[in-house]
Structures are given as C-alpha cells and as structure tokens.
Structure 1
Amino acid sequence: MPAQPSIHHQPASEEYYFHEGCYILELLNSDTQPELSIARATVRPGVTTRWHQLEGITERYVIQQGSGRVEVGELQQAVSAGSVVVIPPGCRQRITNTGEADLVFLALCLPRFVPDAYVDLEKSTD
C-alpha cells in the first residue's frame, strides 16, 4: 500500500532539556517513517553543546534564528539564520550560541535519530 499523506503537530510543551546542552522538540521521529527525523533545537546564549557524534546518521542543521559557531570535525564556522550545516555520520560536532538571543535550528537526521546512535565524546562531570 502506498504511503498516505500526514500532518504532524507537536505542542511546545513537549520540548525537553537534553543533557548535550540544548532543548529539543521532536517534530517528527517515528519508527513508521525511519528515513528521516526532524527536531527543533534551542541553545541558550553563551552555551556550548557537548562534543558528540551520531553513528550511521547524516545530520543537517538549518539555522532559523540567532547566531553561533559550529564545529564539525576540524571545521569551525560562524552560522546564522539561513545557514545549513551538513554533518556526515561519525563526525564530531558541537555548536556554541555566540549571540544574546536563543540559537534555534532544525536538526534533520537521515535515517531518523535513535538514542543508540548518539555518542557523547566528553567525560561526564557527574
């Protein structure tokens, strides 16, 4: 049977803090659509997320608002609204909010994000 059209809505109340250092709202992440997940990430001013990588997943950041500095592998680059960052599988990454307002971006993962793919590259301080 061919796929059917669908529309998804996620209330803002579903946003949660992720230990990486950002707030996440999962807009689309379902095992019935394994080819893609979409999340909205928010990084507060002055915050740098933890070094991490995703195994077997290509991730794309689409910056919607704010400004920051992304580090992907050895590349460091300023980003702002309209920037698109492509992160290959297994590539270390982090992002810093260098502005005075929230840095907000969409994180598109192909295939979809699953927690087992996330690798924290920093030692825990807990």
Structure 2
Amino acid sequence: MSGTEIHRPDPGAEYFFEEGCFILETWNRADDPEVSIARARVAPGTATRLHRLAATTERYLILHGSGRIALDDGTDQDVGPGDLVRIPAGTPQRIANTGMDDLIFLAICTPRFRPEIYQDIDPAPRD
C-alpha cells in the first residue's frame, strides 16, 4: 500500500453477519493487515451473540443509539454516542441494543478482522 487513499464504502454492501448484526466493511484489506474498520448496526431489541476474537483486539466507537455491553467481569455497562469500548483479544463480548433506534458503532480491529478469528461461544442455539 502506498500513498494517501480515500475509501468510500458502498452502503449497498452491508450484510448480515452470523454474530447477529449488520456489517458494512469500511476498511479491511490484506495489504493493510494492522487494522480493519467496519460499521456495525444492531437492530432495536436485539443483541449480538456471545463471542470472542482470537488474537485480535476490538474497539467499539458508539456513533448512534444506546446499548448495553457485557463486560468480562460479569457486569453490564450502558453505552451511547461517543463512548469507546476496548475489548482485549480473546475476551467474551456481546452488545445489546436497548433503544428504539438502530445501535450503530465502528468496530475497529487490530490486527484486521478475518472470519476465521470469530469464535461463537453463545450457549443459545442459533436461529
């Protein structure tokens, strides 16, 4: 990778991921393995599945809506616009939308997200 780039993701490329949220990949490239950035969208009244990322630290930067994140100490914490949640590699995580609007946040992964690092650890069966 060389030079300055401006990347504009296509909103039509948003997809539903097995975690239980909609994802729009903003930046996730093999030639920039240090980071990926995705816009995540969790519908009202829903939550992501309990999961963890192997060897990848994730940060949630909340942009819109309100939610509750399950912390690794067994407690929950409310989050809203402007909050940043740092989730160390291998840490169980889940976020629920507690509001009436979509919960939208940036999921920033270091190193970059790859599907094979996603580990579903939710005891509930998949829908």
Q: Same fold judged by TM-score > 0.5? A: yes
The correspondence of residues 1-126 of structure 1 with structure 2, limited to 5 A, is 3-74=2-73, 75-123=75-123, 124-125=125-126
Residue 85 of structure 1: how far off its partner (Å)? 0.1
Count residues in correspondence. Answer: 125
- What residue identity is the alignment partner of 2:36? S
Q: Which amino acid in the other structure matches residue 122 of structure 1?
A: D
Whichever residue aligns with residue 88 of structure 1, its letter is: P
**1:48-105 deviation per Cα after TM superposition (whole angstroms, max 9, x unaligned):** 1100000000000000000010013124210000010000000000000000000000
How far off its partner does 1:7 sit? Answer: 1.1
Distance 1:83 1:3 in 2: 32
TM-score normalized by the length of structure 2: 0.94
CA deviations on 1:35-59 (whole Å, 9 max, x unpaired) are 0000000000000110000000000
SS in 1 for 2:116: helix
* Greater share of strand: 1
TM-score, normalised relative to structure 1: 0.94
- Once superposed, what is the RMSD of the aligned Cα atoms? 1.3
| Structure 1 position 125, deviation (Å) | 3.5
Where 2:34 maps in the other structure, the secondary structure is: coil
- Runs of 4 or more above 4 Å deviation: none
Find the residue that maps to 1:105 and give its secondary structure. Answer: strand
Q: Which runs of 5+ in 2 are unaligned?
A: none
